[in-house]
Chain A
Amino acid sequence: MQPMINKKTLCAAVIAVLLIIPCMTVFTSASAVDTQRQVSLAIKDVPLADITFSAYLVAQMDGEGSLTVSDAFADSAIELNEDTDIAQLSGSLVKYVLKNKITADATAVSDKLGAASFKRSDLKQGLYLITAQRVVKDGKTYCVSPFMASLPYIYENTVHYDVIADAKFDLLPSIDLYTVYKVWSDVGVEDKRPQSIDISLYCDGEVYEQITLPHNGAWKYEWKDLPSDHVWWVEENDVVDYSFSVTEKGSSFTVINTYTGSYPPPQEDIPSTGQLWWPVPILLCAGLVLIVCGLIRRKSSV
Chain B
Amino acid sequence: MKKGTVLIALGIAVILSALGLTVYNLYTADRAYKDASDAFNKLQDIIPANDQIVLPIVKDEGEPNEDKNEDEIDNTPSTEASDGDLNGEQTQALPDYFLNPNVDMPSYRIDGFKYIGTLEIPDISVQLPIISRMSYSRLRKAPCRYSGSAYTDDMIIGAHCYENFFAQLKNVPRGGQVKVTDIDGNVFVYQVIAKESVMKSDVEGLKSGQWDLSLFTCPSVVNTDTRIVLRCERIYPLIKNQ
State yes or no: do A and B come from one complex.
Answer: yes
Counting CB contacts under 8 A, is A278 at the interface?
A: yes
Interface positions of A from 277 to 302, Cβ below 8 Å from B: 277-281, 283-284, 286-299, 301-302
Q: Is the CB of A269 within 8 A of B104?
A: no
CA distance A273 to B146 in the complex (A): 12
Q: Is the CB of B18 within 8 A of A278?
A: no
Q: Is the CB of B218 within 8 A of A269?
A: no
CA distance A153 to B184 in the complex (A): 53
Q: Is the CB of A275 within 8 A of B25?
A: yes
CA distance A59 to B1 in the complex (A): 103
The residue from A184, A190, A252 contacting B100, defined by CB atoms under 8 A apart: A252
Counting CB contacts under 8 A, is B210 at the interface?
A: no
Chain A proximity mask over B1-35: 1 for CB below 8 Å, otherwise 0: 10111111111111111100110010011000000
Closest beta carbon of chain B to A193's beta carbon, Å: 9
Counting CB contacts under 8 A, is B59 at the interface?
A: no
Counting CB contacts under 8 A, is B73 at the interface?
A: no
Which of B82-90, B119-127, B197-205, B233-241 contacts the other chain? B197-205
Q: Is the CB of A270 within 8 A of B198?
A: yes
Q: Is the CB of A279 within 8 A of B21?
A: yes
CA distance A298 to B134 in the complex (A): 53
Q: Is the CB of A270 within 8 A of B224?
A: no
What is the size category of the interface that chain B forms with chain A?
35 or more
Closest beta carbon of chain B to A263's beta carbon, Å: 14
Counting CB contacts under 8 A, is B139 at the interface?
A: yes
Q: Is the CB of B21 within 8 A of A283?
A: yes
> Chain B residue with minimal CB distance to A268?
B201
> Chain B residue with minimal CB distance to A272?
B224
Counting CB contacts under 8 A, is A276 at the interface?
A: yes
Q: Does more than half of chain B's interface fall in helix, strand or loop, or is it mixed?
A: mixed
Q: Is the CB of A184 within 8 A of B221?
A: no
Known contacts A183-B103, A273-B158, A301-B1: A217-B109 contact under CB 8 Å? yes
Q: Is the CB of B221 within 8 A of A275?
A: yes
Q: Is the CB of B161 within 8 A of A273?
A: yes
The residue from B8, B15, B160 contacting A273, defined by CB atoms under 8 A apart: B160
Q: Is the CB of B11 within 8 A of A288?
A: yes
- A252 surroundings in chain B (CB, below 8 A): 99-100
The residue from A188, A214, A275, A302 contacting B107, defined by CB atoms under 8 A apart: A214
Known contacts A268-B201, A270-B206: A218-B106 contact under CB 8 Å? yes
> Chain B residue with minimal CB distance to A300?
B4
Interface positions of A from 209 to 223, Cβ below 8 Å from B: 214, 216-220
Counting CB contacts under 8 A, is B190 at the interface?
A: no
Q: Is the CB of A294 within 8 A of B221?
A: no
CA distance A296 to B8 in the complex (A): 10
Counting CB contacts under 8 A, is A254 at the interface?
A: yes
Interface size on A, residues (CB 8 A): 52
Counting CB contacts under 8 A, is A1 at the interface?
A: no
Q: Is the CB of B216 within 8 A of A294?
A: no
CA distance A270 to B159 in the complex (A): 12
Q: Is the CB of A273 within 8 A of B100?
A: no
Known contacts A266-B203, A283-B17, A290-B11: A273-B218 contact under CB 8 Å? yes
The residue from B8, B133, B201 contacting A295, defined by CB atoms under 8 A apart: B8
Chain A proximity mask over B91-108: 1 for CB below 8 Å, otherwise 0: 000001001101110111
Q: Is the CB of A288 within 8 A of B221?
A: no
- A302 surroundings in chain B (CB, below 8 A): 1
Counting CB contacts under 8 A, is A182 at the interface?
A: yes
Counting CB contacts under 8 A, is B141 at the interface?
A: no
- B16 surroundings in chain A (CB, below 8 A): 287
CA distance A274 to B25 in the complex (A): 10
The residue from A274, A279, A286 contacting B160, defined by CB atoms under 8 A apart: A274
The residue from A216, A268, A269, A298 contacting B5, defined by CB atoms under 8 A apart: A298
- B22 surroundings in chain A (CB, below 8 A): 280
> Chain B residue with minimal CB distance to A274?
B218
| Most interface-central of A218, A268, A273, A290 (chain B CB within 10 A) | A273
- B184 surroundings in chain A (CB, below 8 A): 218
- B103 surroundings in chain A (CB, below 8 A): 181-183, 219-220, 254
List residues of chain A with CB under 8 Å of any chain B CB: 181-184, 187-188, 190-191, 214, 216-220, 249, 252, 254, 256, 266-281, 283-284, 286-299, 301-302
List residues of chain B with CB under 8 Å of any chain A CB: 1, 3-18, 21-22, 25, 28-29, 96, 99-100, 102-104, 106-109, 114, 133-134, 136, 139, 146-147, 158-162, 166, 183-184, 198, 200-203, 206, 216-218, 220-224, 227
- 14 A-B residue contacts at CB 8 Å? A217-B109, A220-B96, A254-B103, A267-B203, A270-B202, A271-B146, A271-B158, A274-B217, A277-B25, A277-B222, A283-B14, A283-B17, A293-B4, A298-B8
Add 13 more A-B contacts to A287-B14, A290-B8 (CB < 8 A): A184-B104, A218-B106, A252-B99, A274-B218, A280-B21, A284-B18, A287-B16, A288-B11, A291-B12, A293-B7, A297-B3, A298-B5, A301-B3
